[in-house]
Amino acid sequence: MSKWRRLFVCFNNIQMSTKHKDQGKMQPKGQILNAIHRLIEFIGKWIYTFVAFLKGPAESQPPIKDLTLLHSATTLALKIRNKQLTSQEVVQSYIDRIKEIQPILNCVVEDRFEDALKEAKLCDDLLKSENAPSPQVLAEEKPFFGVPFTTKDCIAIAGMKQTAGLTIRKNVVSEHDAEVVRLMRAAGAIPLATTNVSELAMWWETSNCLYGTTKNPYNTRHIVGGSSGGEGCIQAAAGSPLGIGSDIGGSIRIPSYFNGLFGHKPSTGMVSNDGQYPSAQSEDQNRLLSIGPMCRYAQDLLPTLKILADKNADMLHLNEKVDISKLKFYYMEDDGGQYFTSPVESEIREAMRKVVQYLEKAHKIKATKIHIKKMKKSIALWMANMSCKDEKDFTYELSNRVGHINLWWEFLKWTLFLSNHTLIALLTATFERFAVKHGSDKHTKFIQESKELYREFQDILGEDGVFLYPTHPTAAPMHYEPLIKPFNFSYTGIINVLGLPATACPLGLNKQGLPIGIQVVSGLHQDRLTIAVCEELERGFGGWVPPTIVA
């Protein structure tokens, strides 16, 4: 039996076991493997730190000099409607900012600056014309009139490349807008650029062989998350007022968390996935995938979600006001002791406790600490729901869906620096071969357990419950460090399995100056609750922390 198969069998057996849960103790095999994993993390951390030291100090991004960049997208739209700012001025401000940050952060993969300026001029000309619509009409019909926005490279914009970070797709140009882009355009917004992703959007560090690695604006030695990492980076660095990301295992929430932003994964099925590449290969995968907003200010979440949800917005009751004091709050500080994930850092636990204290002090809400046993199976449940059928596995995806790559040949090429694929993409394809097979007894069991966990959450949350949970167990790791802690995405992935809405909420910076926060989860179609809670926590904790500002 190969070492990969032995590792997966051990991991799978541990995940399936229930004896330790009943006794509240970890089995000896689990203790040993957990200790080995902690040791690997500890040694790896020191190695990555030493390598970063040899490379020299972190680079600093330019300070913000143009105060237009500090407005929310909602405020920019208001100022443009009222002719306090022109769309051309706003678009130019963001173009200038992108040109400042791009050489340092590498967040943009393709721009449409000239076309964006032309479209901005059309907006300004309309406002100057005799037939100009009133600000009230614009606010209702085109709420983001004249405001630029960006999207991750996986989401199609007509006339622009859609590579998904795959080298073989370097010349693929989209013929049509993704549905979410079409809706944003209809709301008056102007596409400005596309941003970097991990290879095929299947890893939580943004790096690929086509466009390279994106760096964290708070410390360039650290990652931006993935797969919507370029989008998280450009938002945090004030290079865009509003962004669109997609999320199948945390790809909106992890980059939002690592970059100190708000990012919302909508309830399953509420926003069209049309125009996202790679598209889902099964009904289970499509249920995991959601497209949603990423932004610096919580007030931009609701109006953007209204646009993206389109006809489904009525199902979400987004116009209903939320009384925070009447909500029921529940929380977990960790996943209950899942194997192969890092322990939740003390500063993140403390941030969670401060939120609980804030709710009690400000709204007299007593949050309930709960323990949901099945959260220990987060990795296994997510992997089961992601399993493919008809041999359309990751080697098929890496070939751009025209066959299957030869894994061992690609590994050999990689050692010789000749492969067009990242190491993690090849490792992912390898690991997938030993995962639970679609349609097997184990797969059926995990799918059933996923449904049971969903019902458990729905019973707890109902229509007025909110669940507070870590977005990730650590702050943004150093570049390539996720290789030794690959399963840490399970904190977000399990929420995709449930199909519930979740919003990443920033809670300031840790002692290293890196963003930390939590995710806010609610019952199905209760998206307005998570957004309302994030708006409240933004008032209480400050939200996005901007880089240096020069007045």
Catalytic residues: 152, 227, 251
CA dihedral 200, 282, 292, 314 (to 10 degrees): 170
Helix, strand, coil distribution of the chain in percent, nearest 5:
50, 15, 40
Which residues fall within 8 angstroms of residue 156, CB to CB, at 6 or more apart? 162, 174, 176, 177, 178, 181, 275, 276, 277
CA distance 143 to 336: 43
CA distance 228 to 240: 14
Residue written as token pair 């992912």? 428
Beta strand pairing status for 212-213 and 368-369? unpaired
Q: Two tokens at 300?
A: 């931009």
Beta strand pairing status for 243-247 and 212-213? unpaired
Residue (of 119, 171, 121, 174) closest to 151 by Cα position: 174
Phi, psi of 230 (to 5 degrees): -60, -35
CA distance 76 to 166: 35
CA distance 126 to 190: 15
Q: How far is CA 67 from CA 72, 73, 90, 292, 541, in A?
A: 11, 13, 11, 26, 22
Please state the length of the chain.
551
Structural contact between residues 119 and 190, judged by C-beta atoms closer than 8 angstroms: yes
C-alpha torsion sign, points 403, 210, 249, 159: negative
CA distance 277 to 274: 9
